[in-house]
Chain A
Amino acid sequence: MLNIKKLHKSYPIGDSSLHVLKGIDLSVDSGEMVAIMGSSGSGKSTLLNIIGMLDEADEGEYILDGVPIKNLTEKKAAIYRNKFLGFIFQSFNLINYKNALDNVALPLYYQGMKRQERQELALFHLGKVGLEPWAHHLPNELSGGQKQRVAIARALAANPKLLLADEPTGALDTKTSYEIMEFIQQLNDEGKTILIVTHEEDIAQMCKRIVRLKDGLIMEDEKVEQVRASQYV
Chain B
Amino acid sequence: MIKFLFERDTWQEVWDSLSKNKLRSMLTMVGVWWGILLLIGLLGSARGLENSFNRLFGSFATNSVFVWGQNTSKPFKGFQEGKRVQLKLSDAKIVEENVEGIEFVVPRNQNQGLVVRNFLSGTFSINGDFPLLDKVQKKKLIHGRFINQNDIDNNKKVAVISEDIYKQLFEKDEEMIGQLVQINSMNFTVIGMFENGNVNMGPTSDIHIPFTTFQQIYNQGNQIGWMMITGKPEYDISQIEADSKLILKNLNHVHPEDNRAFGSFNLGKEFAKITGFLIGMQFLTWFVGIATLIAGVFAIGNILLITVKERTKEIGVRRALGATPFEIKRQIVVEAVFITLLAGFFGIITGGWILIGIDSAFGQGDEAVIVNASVSITVVFVALIILVILGTLIGLIPAFKATSIKPIDALREE
The secondary-structure label for the interface of chain A is: helix
Flag whether B172 is at the interface (Cβ < 8 A). no
Closest to B19 in A: A97
Number of contact residues on B: which range applies? 20 to 34
State how many angstroms separate the Cβ of B335 from the closest Cβ of chain A.
Answer: 13
When distances are taken between beta carbons in the complex, the residues of chain B under 8 Å from A55 are 406, 408
Task: Flag A62-96 by CB within 8 Å of B: 1 or 0 each.
Answer: 00000000000011001101110001010001010
Query: A98 vs B13: C-alpha distance in the bound complex, in angstroms?
Result: 9
Q: Is the beta-carbon distance between A54 and B408 smaller than 8 angstroms?
A: yes
Query: A71 vs B19: C-alpha distance in the bound complex, in angstroms?
Result: 39
Flag whether A115 is at the interface (Cβ < 8 A). yes
Select B321's contact among A49, A74, A75, A107, beta carbons within 8 Å: A107
When distances are taken between beta carbons in the complex, the residues of chain A under 8 Å from B169 are none
Query: A187 vs B103: C-alpha distance in the bound complex, in angstroms?
Result: 96
Select A106's contact among B20, B321, B325, B407, beta carbons within 8 Å: B321
Flag whether A124 is at the interface (Cβ < 8 A). no
Query: A178 vs B411: C-alpha distance in the bound complex, in angstroms?
Result: 25
Flag whether B234 is at the interface (Cβ < 8 A). no
Select B313's contact among A54, A93, A106, beta carbons within 8 Å: A93
Q: Is the beta-carbon distance between B325 and A78 smaller than 8 angstroms?
A: yes
Task: Flag B308-319 by CB within 8 Å of A: 1 or 0 each.
Answer: 000001100111
Flag whether B252 is at the interface (Cβ < 8 A). no
The secondary-structure label for the interface of chain B is: helix
When distances are taken between beta carbons in the complex, the residues of chain B under 8 Å from A107 are 321-322
Q: Is the beta-carbon distance between B322 and A78 smaller than 8 angstroms?
A: yes
Query: A95 vs B310: C-alpha distance in the bound complex, in angstroms?
Result: 13
Flag whether A174 is at the interface (Cβ < 8 A). no
Give the number of residue pairs across the A-B interface with Cβ within 8 Å.
62
Q: Is the beta-carbon distance between A158 and B325 smaller than 8 angstroms?
A: no
Q: Is the beta-carbon distance between A49 and B327 smaller than 8 angstroms?
A: no
Flag whether B114 is at the interface (Cβ < 8 A). no
Q: A55-B408, A93-B313, A115-B9 given as contacts; is B320 within 8 A of A81 (CB)?
A: yes
Q: A110-B327, A115-B9 given as contacts; is B322 within 8 A of A79 (CB)?
A: yes
Select A75's contact among B8, B16, B17, B325, beta carbons within 8 Å: B325
Q: Which of A32-61 contact B (CB under 8 A)?
A: 49, 52, 54-55
Q: A49-B408, A97-B17, A115-B9 given as contacts; is B323 within 8 A of A110 (CB)?
A: yes
By a beta-carbon cutoff of 8 Å, the part of chain A in contact with chain B is 49, 52, 54-55, 74-75, 78-79, 81-83, 87, 89, 93, 95, 97-98, 106-107, 109-111, 115, 154, 158
Kindly list the 10 A-B residue pairs having the minimum CB-CB distance in the complex, ordered from nearest.
Answer: A82-B322, A97-B20, A110-B322, A54-B408, A78-B324, A107-B321, A93-B317, A75-B324, A74-B325, A55-B408
By a beta-carbon cutoff of 8 Å, the part of chain B in contact with chain A is 8-9, 16-17, 19-20, 313-314, 317-327, 403, 406-408, 411
